[in-house]
Amino acid sequence: MEYWRYIRGVIESLPLMTEEDLSKEEFDKLQTVFNIPSLCKIYCTYEHYLEKRQKIRNQIEYHVKNKKSTSNVHRNSCDDG
């Protein structure tokens, strides 16, 4: 169990959610590969990192856009009454 806590701690400490995307060189310096003997290897490629970052950006933009449109609907309905 301690091994999994160690992996989780390392992954959570990675600076992946910064404003700017990491460069390939910066990403390569991070520990993103864990070999678990007799079980598997956990890893993340730079391309996968960029794909996930883009998905997160899209989700944030979607929620921000929907929040604005929802707040406009509520505001307009309140103005009518």
Per-residue model confidence (pLDDT) at position 76: 54
* pTM of the predicted model as reported, rounded to 2 decimal places: 0.64
Per-residue model confidence (pLDDT) at position 46: 93
- Distance between CA atoms of residues 10 and 6, nearest Å: 6
12-62 pLDDT tens trace: 888 877 888 899 999 999 888 888 888 889 888 999 999 999 998 899 899
Per-residue model confidence (pLDDT) at position 38: 87
Give the chain's domain count. Answer: 1
The more confident residue out of 59 and 80 is 59
Query: For 42, left (φ over 0), alpha (ψ -120 to 50), or beta?
Result: beta
Per-residue model confidence (pLDDT) at position 26: 92
**Count of positions (residues) in the chain:** 81
DSSP letter assigned to residue 44: -
Which residue matches tokens 């989700």?
A: 59
- Distance between CA atoms of residues 73 and 76, nearest Å: 5
Residue ranges making up the domain that contains 45: 2-80
